[in-house]
Amino acid sequence: MNVLVVLPTYNEAENIVLLLPKLLELPVDICVVDDGSPDGTGALADEWAARERRIRVVHRSGKLGLGTAYIAGFRTALAAGYDAALTMDADFSHNPKYIPSMLTKIAEADLVIGSRYVCGGEVRYPWHRRMLSKISNFVARLLLGYTAHDCTAGFRLYRSTVLRTMPLDRIFSNGYSFLTETMWHVQRGGFRIAEVPIIFEDRVRGQSKISSREIYRGMTTVFRLFLRRLRGRTE
């Protein structure tokens, strides 16, 4: 299976030079989607791409949001004929060591989630963020009927057949709420979802991109989709 890792970045210069070598040890190609990072992340990615044909870089004009960065990566994967696209954070919260397990699991699924909330999974960041994450997952599963234990995770491996069915031009959410909305389309499409346990680490280098605004957007996305569910809409 030809897999493209979609790696959104914004001010991740400290991490990108450590992460890319780890990913190159795996049977995957890499697409860095950089939002005009002031710290030079995009330039560093270009240097790596010049030396390594398995790396490509998409440069964007500014901080346009996580959701549109994922879409840019998905479009790149589909246009180049990849069988699957894997999304992950660039700050080592999602450790590349779990990717082989995800690649194995995709043989029996259409979407594989690197999950914090299945047996063997764990979250290692401050208690208030753990509580917020658990509440977000509980509310999404309750109101939207999601079957995945970790439905807000960004560590995901999508088959291209799934991505082709998604209305990428019409997905309303941006930021981290994009993850909740794409899960909506995956589950409503009847695709097989599997989870593999991961230990989610808090970042060591750089600044977190999660803000109170992102949290608000995430909750409004859940309630917007809940209303769609009540109305029986599937698109």
Which tens digits make up the pLDDT trace of 165-182?
998 888 866 667 888 889
pLDDT value, residue 110: 98
pLDDT value, residue 227: 83
Handedness of CA 41, 81, 194, 138 (dihedral sign): positive
* Residue 137 CB contacts under 8 Å (≥ 6 apart), including other chains: 117, 149, 150, 151, 152
* Residue 12 CB contacts under 8 Å (≥ 6 apart), including other chains: 37, 39, 41, 90, 91, 206
Residue ranges of the alpha helices (H) in the chain? Answer: 13-24, 41-51, 66-79, 99-105, 127-144, 160-165, 177-188, 212-231
Backbone φ and ψ for 132, nearest 5 degrees, come out as -60, -45
From 33, 42, 47, select the one nearest 4 (Cα to Cα). Answer: 33
pLDDT value, residue 220: 78
pLDDT value, residue 206: 54
Q: Does domain 3-231 have CATH number 3.10.310.30?
A: no
pLDDT value, residue 222: 78
Q: Which residues pair with 114 in a beta bridge?
A: 196
Q: Which residues of the chain have pLDDT under 50?
A: 234-235
The span from the CA of 114 to the CA of 195, in Å, is 6
- The widest CA-to-CA distance across the chain, in whole angstroms, is 52
**Alpha-carbon distances of 165 from 66, 141, 168, 217, rounded to whole Å:** 20, 22, 9, 24
Q: Which residue has the tokens 């970790």?
A: 150
pLDDT value, residue 234: 47
Amino acid at the residue 38:
P
pLDDT value, residue 170: 82
Q: How far apart are the first and last CA of the chain?
A: 29
Handedness of CA 141, 203, 103, 221 (dihedral sign): positive
Handedness of CA 79, 221, 9, 189 (dihedral sign): negative
